[in-house]
Chains A and B, each alone.
Chain A
Amino acid sequence: DTAVSQTPKYLVTQMGNDKSIKCEQNLGHDTMYWYKQDSKKFLKIMFSYNNKELIINETVPNRFSPKSPDKAHLNLHINSLELGDSAVYFCASSQELSGDGYTFGSGTRLTVV
């Protein structure tokens, strides 16, 4: 009964590959997010998705694309992976856009070799 679940937990892949990370929330929240946490633990917003409206952080390369089949799911697809994409990616959700208190998933550690 995990609130925000991500799969896989670990992902090791070669440069140039395309990969996806899945996220599901069972909290009934309207908004979902993807965050990137680098090796220095800095949390950076990548996307927020609310009622089919996608808000993109302009610094995110267009190799990254979120896909939301329904309100409870927000997947992250990454094309042509680069070494610099190695990080921990967190999915999160909230009742409304920037609502009080995000609930985070446990993260996906992506390693590009």
Chain B
Amino acid sequence: QQQVKQSPQSLIVQKGGISIINCAYENTAFDYFPWYQQFPGKGPALLIAIRPDVSEKKEGRFTISFNKSAKQFSLHIMDSQPGDSATYFCAARNYGQNFVFGPGTRLSVLP
């Protein structure tokens, strides 16, 4: 119940394309769903986050879509750029407990 599943494991997208990464969870007590971006040699950095009371959140080219009934959420990167090439982690939090991270998706955006 504490797991967060993430797919795909790796993703290759052409420059200008849309990158979509999907996550699913079981624990309905989760109340906060962030996405982290990690570049090689760096620590994960908070990219965008959503709470279950909204279905979508957009920040620039990054959008989270959230489906509470399906217990799924996804990250969409519009107009993907080579600089977006990184590993992306979804995560979920049950307030007062530690975050649970997905296994990560390695995104490569080809120039």
Contact = CB atoms under 8 A, between A and B. Distances in A.
Contacts, number: 51
Contacts of A33: 98
Given A43-B89, A107-B41, 11 more contacts: A40-B103, A41-B38, A41-B103, A43-B44, A90-B44, A100-B32, A100-B49, A105-B43, A106-B42, A106-B43, A107-B43
B97 interface: yes
9 contacts: A41-B87, A45-B99, A98-B94, A98-B95, A102-B99, A104-B45, A106-B42, A106-B43, A107-B41
A97 B43 contact: no
A106 B94 CA distance: 25
B46 interface: yes
B5 interface: no
Interface of B: 32, 34, 36, 38, 41-46, 49, 87, 89, 93-99, 101, 103-104, 106
Interface of A: 4, 33, 40-43, 45, 48, 55, 90, 92, 97-98, 100-107
B89 to A, nearest CB: 7
Contacts of A4: 43
A104 B43 contact: yes
Top-3 shortest CB links A-B: A104-B43, A43-B101, A41-B104
A107 B98 contact: no
A86 B98 CA distance: 23
A40 B32 CA distance: 25
A15 to B, nearest CB: 25
A6 to B, nearest CB: 8
